[in-house]
Structure 1
Amino acid sequence: MPVNASSGLGCPPDAVPAIACDGESAPGLARITALAAACLGMPMAWLALGTGRTRVVRAVHGFAGGEPGDAAGGFRACVPLIGAGERRLGELWIGDRRARGDLDPSLGARLEDFARLAAERLDHAERSRVDTLLRGFAEAAVYALMTVETGGTITFANTAAEALFGYAPGTMIGQDVGIVVPASARAAYAKRLARFAAGQPSILAGRVFQLTARHRDGSAVPLEMSLSLWSTNGTVELGLTMRDISEWHARDAQLVRMAHHDNLTGLLNRARFNDRLRAALTEAPATVMLLDLDGFKEVNDSLGHATGDALLQSVAVRLPTCVAPDMTVARLGGDEFAILLPACGDPIRAAATATGILDAFQATFHVCGHTFHVGLSVGIAVGRFPESDAETLIADADLALYQAKRDGRRCCRLFEPAMRSAVLARRTLHDELSHALEAGEFVLHYQPQVAFATGQVVGAEALLRWRHPARGLLLPGAFLCSLEAHPMAAAIGRWIIEEACRQAAQWRAAGLPPIRVAVNLFAAQLQSGTLAQDVTRSLARYRLPTSALELEVTERIALQAEDAILEPIRALHAEGVAVAFDDFGTGYASLSSLKRFPLTRLKIDRSFVRDVLTDRHDAEIIRAILLMAQSFGLEVIAEGIEGADQETVLRTMGCHEGQGYLYGRAVPPAALAALIRARTAPEARAIVA
């Protein structure tokens, strides 16, 4: 490699670093540096590591308080340090403060020899460091780790392996691996080792399998093992990763012995559970608990039924450990489990058991390479002696379970007689909602929003109504809770946006002054991921400007929505769609929402407006909201205005728009059109015409 007076091949001429300040030079590298300087007849030499413009000097020779940079004005030359895998590590430099001619080629070759020597030492140091780290990792591992030569000699066993097989520290290394192989399996194991040594492929490599090993005391050790193979200097070596599964075997043996068990989990099945429940009810009170996994359908849908089955099996293993020995645990089917508390008519004891189960299921499940946080919903029904029958008790527990899932999941509920009629009514309502949209039973009514200064209608809030075929026109209070949790919620929300845009366009086509139409969003619309497309498509279809629509976000959505879910609202706001925060001031999420949401308007809740004339606190809250909105550059509208005196006070405080019975109730589109015309000044109508 040619070396000249300015720089060696591949060494940048401006890469002369300062002496490192992070420790003394490595002794071996310092000796190499000194020898290089002496053999090449140079007063200075240094070894720098790194590949950027900044280097770290690890060894120097010939500097008395100076720095390698001092040689920049004289002579300097270098060759790169090339490590294993042709990886560049740095450079070996020589230098003189005096100017010199080009370095003799023979001296350049010597400099390269010294560079190779330094690179080998650096590689060796790196390998030693990695070996130390790997050994420390292996010794600290919970799993038993062992390496074996294909001749059968154990070359490494960590602390966990020594403990697993009952050997003192260091005593396994050098022994034949046969010490942990049962006598009946040694011949087969020897043949397998011979195939490994011959380089034949192994179907076991990379797979997890179970086998039985031999403890030092001669007892059997059931293991779960994975096998790795690699070659070192042409010699094949084996790596074994093991863990004791004695507890698994004991539990499996117990499940196999159980009669009338569920094929997948080994728990009692529905028929056997019913038998035990009937028997228990003939002797004393008994309690039934039904348990349902929260979100199990998503596991099956996203990861497949094999993973779902494995998760159910893991649940079936954990569940019996959470209850008393005299309690019966069964799988009724799907992801539903049942527990029988015999001779128990105490709701407090049943609730305590359910709480213990919920606490135990806070721990994660590791199944098929996935980690699951499994939540449970629990329904409890206490049977009386001797009146209760098994079928009714299970049905009551199922109603309580339904209530637990409705109340947010990961909780337990005790059956109450009122649940039966309430749940049945909700289920009927749920079924009716499923076809209401297709049947065209939903309509929108519109409540006017008025500008105080002109008295004109400047906006309208679209409110959902249901023309029920049997119950007549229903207000949202009769069905909204069920609708929000319904699978059709996103589709109905999409229809509301479409219908509101259609109606707004129809009003404009009829010559009415343009007004904004506000629609309330369901949480499901944000979660669907299509909100932005739904809004822009509807606006484009009816040729409306983005200012024609306003989206109202409730506090519940603000609390539940993640930042990623809010992106569609941010995108729409950037395009000019207004966003209002409904019922502002009623909850603790309101202030934080001012930062997270791209808002344009706050709606003062009717609960503050109602008593603004008589309650000083409500008046001060409204003033604070108006000042806050002014600071954030937001518009404000007050809801629930019923009297002119309320409007006067709000106008005095600085509020500019209002909504409430003073201006009109929510009415069909034609009635609102008439109201808009009535409140539009003649000169304004002339301008529109």
Structure 2
Amino acid sequence: MFGADSMIPSPSAPAGTDDRTAPTDDAERLTALRSCHVIGAAPDAGLERIVAVTAASLGMPMAWVSLVDDEVSWLVARIGVDLHRLPRHGQPCERVLTQSGIVVVNADDEGLLFRDLPGVRFHAGAPLITAEGHCIGSLGVLDTKPRDGFDDAERSKLAAFAGLVMDRLEIRRAQLANAAAIGFAQAAEYALLVVDGTGTITFCNPSAEALFGHGAGGMVGRPAEIIIPEPLRAAHKAGLRRIASGGASHLAGRTIELTALHRDGRTFPIEFSMSIWQGPGGIGMGAVIRDISEWRARDAKLVQLAHHDKLTGLTNRALFDERLDASLTTDQYATVMLLDLDGFKEVNDSLGHAVGDVLLQAVAVRLSSWVTAQITVARFGGDEFALLLPGRGSPLDAGALAAQILEAFQTPFPVAGHVFHVGLSIGAAIGGPGTVRDELIADADLALYQAKRDGRRCFRLFEQSMRNAVVARRTLHDELTRAVERAELVLHYQPQVELDSGQVIGAEALLRWQHPTRGLLLPAAFIDALEAHPLAASIGRWIVDDACRQSALWRALGLPPLRVAVNLFGAHLRTGRLAREVIGALERHALPPSLLEIEVTERIALQTDDFLLDPLRELHRHGVSIAFDDFGTGYASLSSLKRFPLTRLKIDRGFVRDILTDRHDAEIVRAVLGMAQSFGLDVIAEGIETIEQDTMLRIMGCREGQGYLYGRAMTAEALAALVMGGRVEGRRGPRAA
């Protein structure tokens, strides 16, 4: 194992003291040296004894173990010498290191042997060589007088003592490694357990004792069955016998989950990883174990969360889908019903989400109480619920259940000190053999959409025509995308006049689609699809900019100032950039703010939160007019007067149409005019088509009007020609074309 003097081989040298040369890689040698953990450590009594015996056996007054570091020779064990270290270079110890053999030096031959030990006249050193062949130092004997010879017997002794030094260093290294391993095991958070081939526990750490409920030392020497539940012990013994006889283990090298036995008799889940080895005492088996009770509880909770709605406790979409798949597979028939609350957004907006959440919980309870246990009630999210009728394919059954639910929701909900009259819209679809789950749910969603379009608080069963309508909307959506790309959208302008003078004082910018095959399309053909289009906000920006551009162009042509009214898209308002984009367009075209008017429809008014009104308020402060379009047609109009920064009201054409024949319409117009005067707002009437309507409105005090009597929507050039002509004579002559 250890090398001897390579310069002067001794035939009688002990085994392991051959004349091999150690590797010369100093980095590897230093790594081997430091793995001994002797340098800088407390003195090692075993090394001290070996040094003392070596000196006495060879009749020397001094001896040492010198371990050679990169710059220093450390004297880690010594007798007759007080020094702890010597310089590495230029010393006899270095010659031992480089030659890896026994080196004998007399002062008569070499002069001064050690600068720091001037009295030393003789040195003999044997190399300390590791099992890998690295020389890490030497065992040296020293004398204060020269010696004529150091015979083969003395060399053999010195080499044998060097071997004992290396044995001691190896033992020390193993002891340190074992101590580290034991320390790690004792401090480990996981339970560590070792059993022998008979199944007896030979080691366990404190974590294992705590895990299984045993006191300190209470497990070692006992059979492993003390931690194995009774039903599993037979399998454990069979596996133990197989391993002891040399057979393979089914558990080694794997991490598995098992059930363990606590000292108090309860069982609990553990994660178990086992290793097997062959040691001096026979086969050994070790396991790393940890309690996974919390994991299991968390997993169960995650399963609950993964399959149920957190707010209502109802089945969620994931579990609903699983059950629907199962029904379509086994029964081949299933009915899906989707339910949406009418007006729920207003509850959240006006009273807050906390009240809205309580209302949703009350709805969930009522729905569950009106269906049988075989029907799955689920919440998909928001205010959308779903019912699954497994194995049911009858439209009559779906209709009957829907009627019952609609009837149940006629009873109001008393929630958080409020009473809510909650309506439902219900859509249903029936699946048969070959139905795909997602398609069935999509069909029910189309039926729900139709129920909402048909006035809400009703039930609709899916029909193929509903899907055809979706395809048509999709086609229109794609065509609108291409229309924007090809600049097919244009603005036409309908004149707005002063009723007393007949002068054109403004114009409403109205969107038209110059369709490549269908000709010029009015908004009724595409405006709903456009407002829901992702490009709605960018189209809104273009409309504002183009209207400002055209108004500035009219001014440049010498036309009198014309106020241009622009209809606002809800999507444009929701971007939050409306004010700065409108102001930017005014500045870009050098247009006074007073010549631009933004028209807000009642639909936008109903869907707008207060913070979204800030851009309109900023525009109003900037001098831009804000008009409320179609005023008087909805129940929210009066309250909107308080919220919106309005400048003008537009009387809806529906009231103007029958103003001469319907007393109620006439009174509404008169009331709007009076209200506007009280609020300091201007008024313009829409849809004026006859001289009689014009006359009646002037008598009532309306000052501005718009309608076919004065002109239809026309190109910018046509409007310019109309304005250049002076008064609009349509109200005193035949109806304008």
TM-score (norm. length: structure 2)? 0.47
Separation of aligned partners in 1, 2:698 and 2:543 = 32
Mapping of 1:40-439 within 5 angstroms?
A: 184=211, 186=213, 249=300, 252=303, 267=319, 273-274=324-325, 276-281=327-332, 286-289=334-337, 326=374, 339=388, 341-345=390-394, 346-348=397-399, 351=402, 379-383=427-431, 388-391=432-435, 395=439, 397-402=441-446, 404=448, 407=452, 414-439=461-486
Partner of 2:669: 622
CA distance in 1 between counterparts of 2:694 and 2:657 reads 11
Q: Alignment partner of 2:485: what SS?
A: coil
Residue 693 (structure 2) aligned to one of 634, 641, 646: 646
User: d(CA) in 2 for partners of 1:506 and 1:254?
Assistant: 63
Provide the aligned C-alpha RMSD in A.
Answer: 4.9
Please give the alpha-carbon distance, in whole angstroms, between the structure 2 residues aligned to 1:506 and 1:679: 18
User: Is 1:592 equivalent to 2:639 in the alignment?
Assistant: yes
Determine the structure 2 residue equivalent to 1:553.
600
Instruction: Report how far residue 533 of structure 1 moved.
Output: 1.1
Give, in whole Å, the separation in 1 of the partners of 2:341 and 2:681: 44
Residue type at the aligned position of 2:390: L
Provide closer, same or farther for how the CA distance between residues 440 and 265 of structure 1 changes in structure 2, counting only shifts above 3 A. closer
Where in structure 2 are the equivalents of 1:32-43 lying within 5 Å? none
Structure 2 unaligned residues grouped into runs of 5+: 1-207, 218-258, 270-292, 308-315, 343-363, 414-423, 729-737
In structure 2, the residue corresponding to 1:667 is in which secondary structure? Answer: coil
Cα 1:611–1:597, aligned 2, differ >3 Å: closer, same or farther? same
Aligned residue identity for 1:470 = T
In the aligned structure 2, how far is the partner of 1:424 from the partner of 1:188?
Answer: 74
Instruction: Output the CA distance in 2 between the equivalents of 1:265 and 1:620.
Output: 52
Q: CA deviation digits over 1:277-317, x for unaligned, max 9?
A: 15423xxx5313579999xxxxxxxxxxxxxxxxxxxxxx9
Residue 586 of structure 1 aligns with an amino acid whose one-letter code is T
Q: Is the 8 A contact 1:269 1:330 kept in 2?
A: no
2:597 paired with 1:518: no
C-alpha contact (below 8 Å) 1:277/1:340 kept by paired residues: no
User: In 2 relative to 1, CA 267–293 (structure 1 residues): closer, same or farther, beyond 3 Å?
Assistant: farther
Matched, 1:471 2:515: no
Pairing of 1:662-677 with structure 2 (within 5 A)? 662-677=709-724
Letter in 1 for 2:399: I
> CA distance change for structure 1 residues 183 and 411 in 2, over 3 Å: closer, same or farther?
farther
CA distance in 1, matches of 2:478, 2:654: 34
Query: In structure 1, what is the Cα distance between the partners aligned to 2:471 and 2:631?
Result: 35
Match of 2:492 in 1: 445
In structure 1, how many angstroms separate the alpha carbons of the residues matched to 2:438 and 2:500? 64
Distance across 1 between alignment mates of 2:317 and 2:709: 64
TM-score by length of 1: 0.51
Query: For residues 648 and 348 of structure 1, do their structure 2 counterparts lie closer, same or farther at Cα, with a shift above 3 Å needed?
Result: same
Offset, 1:417: 3.3
- Residue number in structure 2 paired with 1:454: 501
Letter in 1 for 2:541: R
Give the residue type in structure 1 aligned to 2:470. V
SS of structure 2 residue aligned to 1:443: strand
Distance 2:658 2:339 in 1: 47
Count of paired positions: 405
Aligned-partner Cα distance in 1 for 2:305–2:502: 80
Compute the displacement of 1:276 (Å): 3.9
Asked if 1:661 is matched to 2:708, the reply is: yes
SS of the counterpart of 1:453? Answer: coil
Gap change, CA 1:400 and 1:288, over 3 Å in 2: closer
Q: Is contact 1:267-1:329 (8 Å) kept?
A: no
Q: Which runs of at least 4 in structure 1 moved beyond 6 Å after TM superposition?
A: 187-190, 217-222, 242-248, 253-256, 290-294, 320-323, 328-332, 335-338, 352-359, 408-412
Determine whether 1:527 maps to 2:578: no
Question: 1:502 corresponds to which residue?
Answer: 549
1:607 aligns with 2:607: no
The answer as to 2:537 corresponding to 1:490 is yes
Other structure's SS at 2:610 match: coil
- Percent identical: 56
Distance in 2 between residues matched to 1:292 and 1:189, nearest whole Å: 64
SS across alignment from 2:399? helix
Tell me how far apart the structure 1 counterparts of residues 214 and 426 of structure 2 sit (CA, whole Å). Answer: 53
Distance 1:253 1:393, change over 3 A: closer
- Match of 2:714, SS state, is coil
- CA deviations on 1:263-282 (whole Å, 9 max, x unpaired) are x9974867x9556415423x
Which shifted more, 617-626 or 662-671? 617-626
Alignment partners' CA distance in 2, 1:656 and 1:637: 7
Residue 287 of structure 1 aligns to a residue in which SS? strand
Alpha carbons 2:399, 2:459 under 8 Å: kept? no
Q: Answer whether contact 2:447 2:463 (CA < 8 A) is retained.
A: no
* Structure number, greater radius of gyration: 2
Whether the 8 Å contact between 2:491 and 2:512 is mirrored in structure 1 is yes
